[in-house]
Structure 1
Amino acid sequence: AAAEIIQGARKGFNQSDRGHNLFIQFASLTDHLIKLCFHGGQPRSKIINIATEFSALKRMMPLDIIMPIQQSLTISLPAFDMNNNERQHSASVFSVSDLPTISGIADEAEILSSLQRPKKIILLGNDGVEYPFLCKPKDDLRKDARMMEFTAMINRLLCKYPESRRRKLYIRTFAVVPLTEDCGMVEWVP
C-alpha cells in the first residue's frame, strides 16, 4: 500500500522537477541505510569503513534531504498575539531553508558491542554540524517513533502552563526514523 502511495505522489512530478529528484534521492538513501543497518562487518571489527564498503553512499552526497533530527521533524506554529487577535504572519513559517540538509557522511562508522551490533554513523549537515545517528538492525522502531510523537505532545502541553514553564519541565526527545519493519535510525543524543 505504501509503495502505491509513493508511486502516485511521484507521478505528480515531471522527470526534470526537483521533487522527482528528491524521490530518487530518498529511495537511494533509504536502500543504502538499510544495507548499512544489516551490514555485519568483520567478526571482531569495531569499525566499518564507509568510504570503501559503502562507496556508492559516499558518492551520492550532497543531498537535498533534510537532516532527520527532532528539530526538523517537529512543527512550530506561528505565535498568536492575544492583544491584536492576529497571527504573526511570516512567509517562511513552513520554510525548509532554515533546516539543515545532508551534505555528507563520515568515512567510518562505529559498530557497537551488543547482540544486534548497531552502527553509530555521523551525517554531515550543510550547516557544518556533525549529526550522529544509531542505525539499528533487527528492531521494530515504529512504536518508538509513536512514543516520541506522544512525548512531543506532552512537551507542548507542558509549555502551555506557566508553572511548568517556570520549572522548565520537559521530556528530552529524539528523532526515530523507521526504515523498514525491522530496522531504522535513532538520533544520537548526548
Structure 2
Amino acid sequence: MALLLRSVARQGVCLSKAQFSVLYRHAAPMGTTAKEEMNKFWAKNSRLNRPMSPHLAIYKWSVPMLMSITHRGTGLALSGGISAFAAAALVLPGNYPYYLDLIHSLSVGPVLIGLAKFGIAFPVSYHTYNGIRHLVRSMIRLESVCVLLSSVSLFCDLNSCFADIQLELFLFLMPLLLCFSAGISAKASGFQR
C-alpha cells in the first residue's frame, strides 16, 4: 500500500493537496539516489583518512581466529584438490595406473616427496581433527572462547620451541580427551544417553 501511495504521489496524479492530503502526508520524497549516498560516504571516509572496513590491521589475532581461518583454508584446499583430481580423471586420457607409473618414474628427491606428503596430509588431518573437536565441543556445550583458550593454554605452551608439535598433539588429542571427559562426567552424574 505504501508503495502505491508513494508512486501515485511522485507521478503527480494528485493535483490538489487539499483533496489528497492523506497521500501527501505518507509519501516520502526521494531527494538523493543510492549512488549519490555512496559517493558522499566514500568522500567522507577518504577525507577523514578512514581505512576500508573491515581492515585487517585493527584486529587482534587470536588462537580461535587462526584456527578458524586455517580450518576454512584447509576445507577450500581439500574441496579444490578433490575437484581438480575428479576433473583430471574425467578429462585426461589414460587410466589411473598410467599416471601412477608416470609419477613413480619422476626422479624427485626425498625432500620434495616429504613436502608433497605433508601438503596432502596436513589439510586432511587438520580439517578432520578440528572438525571432530568442534563437533565434540558443540555436543557437550563447550563453545565459549574462554573454554577454547583455557584448553589451548592447558595443552600447548605457544612460547616454547616445541609449539608446533604441541599444537598438533593438542589438535589430535583434544577430541579424544573431550570424549573421555564427557563420558566420565556423564557416568558420575548418572546421565545415560
TM-score range, shorter chain: under 0.3
Greater strand fraction, Structure 1 or Structure 2: 1
If asked which structure has higher relative contact order (CA below 8 Å, sep 6+), I would say 1
Greater helix fraction, Structure 1 or Structure 2: 2
TM-score by length of 1: 0.21
TM-score by length of 2: 0.21
